[in-house]
Amino acid sequence: MPTAFIERGYRFFFYSFDCKEPRHIHVQREKFVCKFWLQPVVLSKNHGFTPKELNVIRQIVSSRGGKLLEAWDEHCG
């Protein structure tokens, strides 16, 4: 599970076995996890985050979109 970065207590990471799916990022804080598609930035799954937190995470994903796409392509080839 390569970590792309950690920001505001959220860990943004990939699963290696997900490389056949469209580009996306998983986000974790404590026991909560969600998944966002990267193009366009859309919530795919949520397990525990509040709507307010999801908005914060969505903003981070949007602002770091280029870095995340680059990290995905570097990891998944």
Q: Predicted confidence band at 9 (pLDDT cuts at 50, 70, 90)?
A: very high
Please state the rounded mean pLDDT for residues 25-35: 97
Q: How far apart are CA 39 and CA 73, in angstroms?
A: 13
Please count the structural domains in the chain: 1
Q: What whole-number percentage of the chain has pLDDT above 90?
A: 78
| Predicted local confidence at residue 1, as pLDDT | 66
Instruction: Give the range of the structural domain holding residue 9, as residue numbers without chain letter.
Output: 3-76
The 10s digit of each residue's pLDDT in 42-70 is 999 999 999 999 999 999 999 998 999 99
* Three-class secondary structure of residue 1 per DSSP: coil
Neighbouring C-beta atoms of residue 22, cutoff 10 Å: 10
Q: Where are the beta strands (DSSP E) in the chain?
A: 3-7, 10-13, 24-29, 32-38, 41-47
